[in-house]
Amino acid sequence: MKRFSVITAFPEIFNGFLSSSIIGRAISSGLIEVELLNLRDFAEGKHRQVDDYTYGGGGMVLMAEPLYKAVQAACSISGRAMVIFPSPQGVMLSQEVVESLAQEDHLIIACGHYEGVDERFVESCVDLELSIGDYVLTGGELPAMVIIDAVSRQLPGVVGKAESVAEDSFFRGFLDHPHYTRPVEWRGKRVPEVLLSGDHGAVLDWRRRQAADRTIVRRPDLLSRANILPYLSCGFYVTLFSAPDISLEELERICTVSGAYGAKKVLVVTPLQKPVTTDLSMVKRFSSLESAMSWIGKSEKKVPYVVGMTEAPCGGVHWLELKRRVLERDLPLSLVFCADELLAKEASHFDTMMCLDERGDKIPLSCEVSVVLDRLFGSR
């Protein structure tokens, strides 16, 4: 069971949140436990004072000692916990951070208020400062609710259907697709026909396309950390063009990494110097780049989007821009690795070039392929 301990001077703020909707049901079912610790219970003196004026002038700041004692009390049962402090100075809360926090058994969230908290408490007790956005709130109570809600959704059984979590915005780095319910027509606007067709494959394709289009238009910044492969309707291919010196061992490494990232085939356009004695099922050979691209077109029933990898300064688009273009076109993708002089000679076969990082030393081709595939099809 996931345990949350919230340290706050205003515990009453949480009453409605903890008794309603998904979080309320999760608590009732014993899937999560949320403990509210009133900060004033750990303060001294007749008035149970938890704040004081800041040194150097300014507003009121929460004192370190009551917060420290509250953390110690929260840890007394589990013995070990991760202490989070919601703060504008913290790491931005993202889906990746949420998924990491879901692996922790016990989270303690210490809510600041007024001008903040004594920095010595942060230095001594806090494991992670988290921000939910670049704006200022009265206290940490609202961010604490956001953290509890987001983390709880990742736990088995909290959300009724696991697929609902998988389809949420940001789950794979993309925005969610549009949703519709009854009636079929509302104020002259109809539900898209594909959603009424009963064709589950077509519905899935439509939702995937809508999610990709929304992300491209509304949040292109998300593409930097997203694997775009689940949102493509066609496959991608790694093409090695005129690499006569490649060894069998190097080719095997390229096949391994290409397969790991989801490539359908590794196309070798020039004969290997050494005869192949091992069956490399990922490899398909061609005598020319034109015949290789023609084969992709016949296999996928769509003309491929052909991208050459170049090391020439300013010779191609940045990899982030390439991700956007690949998503936008949604065609079979061929990533061609070859020397820059060959790219120039065969320019008519390429739709665009992607600029590789300039490096002082030449790295093995398998490493180059790994870097490119990770940028396009890796998740961050």
Active-site annotation, residues: 88, 115, 153, 168
- Between helix 248-260 and helix 365-377 the angle, nearest 10°, is 10
Cα Rg of the chain, angstroms: 27
H or E element, residue 150: helix 141-152
* String of DSSP letters for 84-146: EEEEEEEEEP-HHHHHHHTT-SEEEEE--BTT-B-HHHHHHH-SEEEESSSS--SBSHHHHHH
Query: What number of residues does the chain have?
Result: 380
Nearest to 13 by CA among 149, 131, 139: 139
Alpha carbon distance 4, 299 (integer Å):
52
Q: What is the DSSP letter of 375?
A: H
| Tokens 């398909």 found at | 284
**Cis amide prior to 183 (ω within 30 degrees):** yes
Helix/strand/coil for 241 = coil
Q: What is the DSSP letter of 317?
A: B
